[in-house]
């Protein structure tokens, strides 16, 4: 018999820990700037390097929440490192590049990057990009845990995306809020997110209306 989700003090403590980051950037000044900016914003930089191959090793060693990778690095380029990290779902990946050509952006996406930044960038651009990558990665992991096979993952994602869109259109929620509603109901009712999403699509389930201002 399944129990309720763990809410032990240890679990709560882990959930309040700062986001862990590995940085891989071969320009030392940019790497230092990234580290200082992230730490000032409350992130925990657990590893840094100027080489792509070392970035993969650091991710395996420290198990961060996100890896920030420059495209051009010695040892292993950022795209190859991203494929290795994202392929094993070890961490969210954000790609840094000095180039904004569409083909590089598409290559980064195909390598598993969930967000990218074009250098030089501002603090106001860095943090939102990090949070977007973390949010998408969290959603992907949640869906993966709900589905045993690739085919089932794709089908589940398709249904959940459709339900999210329906909630967003009908109730004025953000994509994050719509996904959170589906995930929370699935946990509360001990159902799969696919089953909850199907009920949303069928009109059998909907969020409570937002209180009027």
Between 23 and 96, the higher pLDDT residue: 23
- Per-residue model confidence (pLDDT) at position 10: 37
Alpha carbons 2 and 132: distance in angstroms, whole number: 32
Confidence of residue 79 (pLDDT cuts 50, 70, 90): confident
Query: Residue 194 belongs to a domain with what CATH number?
Result: 1.10.10.10
Question: Would you say residue 39 lies in a domain?
Answer: yes
pLDDT tens digits for range 156-213: 889 999 999 999 999 999 988 999 999 989 988 888 889 999 999 999 999 987 665 5
Contact between 57 and 99 under an 8 Å Cβ cutoff? The reply is no
- Per-residue model confidence (pLDDT) at position 32: 93
Instruction: Please determine, for residue 29, whether its predicted confidence score (pLDDT) is greater than 80.
Output: yes
Are 62 and 159 within one domain? no
Instruction: Please determine, for residue 12, whether its predicted confidence score (pLDDT) is greater than 80.
Output: no
Contact between 95 and 71 under an 8 Å Cβ cutoff? The reply is yes
Instruction: Please determine, for residue 107, whether its predicted confidence score (pLDDT) is greater than 90.
Output: no
* Closest residue by Cα to residue 171 from 142, 207, 125: 207
Mean pLDDT on 37-54: 93
- Per-residue model confidence (pLDDT) at position 13: 38
Are 95 and 37 within one domain? yes
Supply the range of the domain harboring residue 87: 9-137
Instruction: Please determine, for residue 16, whether its predicted confidence score (pLDDT) is greater than 90.
Output: no
Mean pLDDT on 100-120: 76
For the chain, helix, strand, coil in percent to 5 are 55, 10, 30
Are 24 and 123 within one domain? yes
Structure tokens that stand for 192 in this block = 């799969």
Question: Would you say residue 179 lies in a domain?
Answer: yes
Query: Residue 118 belongs to a domain with what CATH number?
Result: 3.40.50.2300
Alpha carbons 177 and 207: distance in angstroms, whole number: 10
Last-in-domain residue among 137, 160, 181: 137
Structure tokens that stand for 89 in this block = 């779902």
Instruction: Please determine, for residue 8, whether its predicted confidence score (pLDDT) is greater than 80.
Output: no
- Per-residue model confidence (pLDDT) at position 96: 86
pLDDT tens digits for range 111-152: 778 888 888 888 888 999 999 889 888 877 777 666 556 677
Mean pLDDT of the chain: 83
């Amino acid at each position: 018999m399944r129990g309720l989700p763990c809410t032990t003090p240890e679990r709560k403590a882990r959930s309040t820990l700062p986001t862990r980051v590995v940085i891989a950037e071969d320009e030392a000044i940019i790497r230092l700037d990234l580290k200082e900016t992230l730490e000032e914003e409350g992130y925990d930089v657990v590893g840094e390097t100027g080489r792509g191959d070392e970035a993969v090793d650091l991710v395996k060693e420290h198990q961060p929440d996100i890896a920030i990778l420059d495209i051009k690095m010695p040892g292993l380029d950022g795209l190859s490192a991203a494929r290795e990290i994202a392929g094993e779902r070890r961490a969210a990946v954000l790609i840094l590049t000095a180039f904004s050509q569409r083909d590089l952006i598409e290559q980064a996406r195909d390598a598993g990057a969930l967000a990218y930044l074009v250098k030089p960038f501002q603090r106001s651009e860095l943090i939102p990009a990090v949070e977007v990558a973390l949010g998408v990665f969290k959603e992907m992991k949640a869906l993966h845990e709900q589905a045993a096979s690739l085919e089932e993952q794709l089908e589940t994602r398709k249904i959940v995306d459709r339900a999210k869109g329906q909630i967003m259109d009908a109730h004025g929620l953000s994509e994050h809020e719509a996904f959170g509603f589906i995930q929370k109901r699935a946990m509360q009712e001990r159902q799969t997110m696919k089953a909850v999403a199907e009920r949303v699509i069928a009109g059998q389930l909907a969020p409570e209306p937002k209180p009027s201002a």
